[in-house]
Amino acid sequence: MRRRSSIFGLWSFVIWSLVSAGLALGQEKPPAPGAAKSVKIPPVSERRLANGLTVASVEKHNLPLVTVQLLIKAGANSEGDDQAGFADMTASMLTKGTKTRTATQIAEAVESLGGSINSGAGWNSSFVALTVTSDKLDAAMAILADVILHPKFDQKELDLLKSQSLDGLTYNLKQPSFLANYVASKYSFGEHPAGGTPDSIGRISRANVVQFYNDIFQPDNAVLIFSGDVTPARAGALSQKSFGSWGSPKVKNVLLGAPTSVPENQKPSTEKRNQILVIDLPKSGQAAVTYAKPVAAIGRSSSSYYPAIVLNSVLGGGYSSRLNYEIRIKRGLSYGAGSGFGWRADKATFATRVQTKNQSAAEVAELTLNELKRLSNNKVDPDELVPRKSVLTGGFGRNLETTGGLASAIGDLYAFGMSTSELNAYMGRVNGVSADQIKEFAVQNLKDGDLIIVGDYSVFKDDLVKRFSKNKITVIEADQLDIGKPDLHK
């Protein structure tokens, strides 16, 4: 026993020594990024049914899986402010029962096929997506068609979904990070929260959902996307069988609330606001710090899209980004810091996000603004730019490895009216972005945004005033907040 223990101890020492040597070597000089890999996506086959439904398919036969996604080219952008949440509620209700199947029966039928189904809506589109093995595709298409063409919109299911949505929203509105984004949607971007407000969700009736469905879910406003182990011929035949009877609208459908007329006093200011908005949430455990800026006239199809996403990769797109390095890694002030763009057809939204201790909220706000200024004042060094591009291209390639990711990527292009050839152009365009383009984008589009801080104001008030003595600070009590009002006050 003693000999076996000594041998075990010797090997433990050897392994520990090798690992330690490897770590020490890694600390001296991390390995250089590998050569960029290319991703070749098969061409997307497209056809159009007589009723106007576009059918798109892309073959990927490495696994016997197929994802079918019905994309509706309208989402929260089709709502007026008083209809916030209608699109997501309507899409979510599709899987809650049809004229012949209950919600439970739909779930059980899909589960029996070894598949999954989900539905919902974002800002630009609504969707229903189903994934199954390719040998179960015919049976799955019958369920998908039933869900899309024959929804029941049962009152009890709607009441349950509304109750769940309101419960979730009530909880989230007490969370600093969620509340910061919620406020930015109206205060900075002049939009409404895509998921709705307590008032708008409470107002949703079955008649509202039926009307929204009838106006939005039309074949000439939809794309049926197949990705995976399916041929274009099979996709076309199944589409005709399942959706060929989907009636075309007798009158050109008018999207609800699109475009929405926003009152002048609720539109995002184009002037230098140079002010800070604090939502006072007494006794909150942490504070959220957000910098929000609308980006006008640069939509998803703009040539500026690629400089923007590379800039974001540098600033806040991952663990090694500048914001996360300065705030989490270097100073330990947060579990994570990042940033992102929200893309629209003809514009975009930009926001940073950090959650920190109330005591460090003002410091984090200052650090965030310093990193934004650095993008405008200095070009990104090649040693930093190359790996940040690799983060984007690597993530893009991994996403397209799944049938669901591929269908989603294709759907995004259709939602914005873009060519599917953009998939194969992505990597080259990301790698073609220069440091000069990034700096120019930052100078032109990211200055003079809004600094929004949600937390216990009494804790960080003095430090905030000290660090931002030249800025106007507006404070709103969280329980007095109403984003439906021009001044955000009840």
Output the CA angle 323-378-342, nearest 5 degrees.
50
pLDDT at 483: 92
pLDDT value for 417: 96
Fold agreement between 45-243 and 269-480: yes
Architecture of the domain delimited by 45-243: 2-Layer Sandwich (3.30)
Q: Which residue has the tokens 């990024």?
A: 33
369 φ, ψ to 5°?
Answer: -65, -35
What is the distance between the terminal CA atoms of the chain, rounded to a whole angstrom?
76
Task: Please tell me the predicted confidence (pLDDT) of residue 273.
Answer: 58
Euclidean distance between CA atoms 225 and 131, whole angstroms: 12
Q: Which residues on adjacent β-strands are paired with residue 119?
A: 128
Amino acid 38: pLDDT: 62
Q: In this structure, which amino acid lies at residue 22?
A: G
**Domain range summary for the chain, segments of one domain joined by +:** 45-243, 269-480
pLDDT at 269: 46
Give, in order, the Cα–Cα distances in Å from 478 to each of 268, 269, 280, 463. Answer: 21, 23, 5, 20
The answer to whether 133 touches 64, Cβ cutoff 8 Å, is: yes
The string of DSSP codes covering 85-120 is THHHHHHHHGGGBBSS-BHHHHHHHHHHTT-EEEEE
- Out of 3.40.50.970, 1.10.240.10, 1.10.1750.10, 3.30.830.10, select the CATH number for domain 269-480: 3.30.830.10
Per-residue pLDDT of the chain (490 residues; tens, 9 = 90+): 344 444 444 444 444 444 444 444 444 455 665 555 566 788 999 999 999 999 999 999 999 999 999 999 999 999 999 999 999 999 999 999 999 999 999 999 999 999 999 999 999 999 999 999 999 999 999 999 999 999 999 999 999 999 999 999 999 999 999 999 999 999 999 999 999 999 999 999 999 999 999 999 999 999 999 999 999 999 999 999 999 999 865 444 444 443 343 444 444 444 445 689 999 999 999 999 999 999 999 999 999 999 999 999 999 999 999 999 999 999 999 999 999 999 999 999 999 999 999 999 999 999 999 999 999 999 999 999 999 999 999 999 999 999 999 999 999 999 999 999 999 999 999 999 999 999 999 999 999 999 999 999 999 999 999 999 999 999 999 999 999 888 999 9
pLDDT at 41: 84
Tokens of 287: 């504070």
Q: Which of 404, 420, 322 is nearest to 115 (CA)?
A: 404
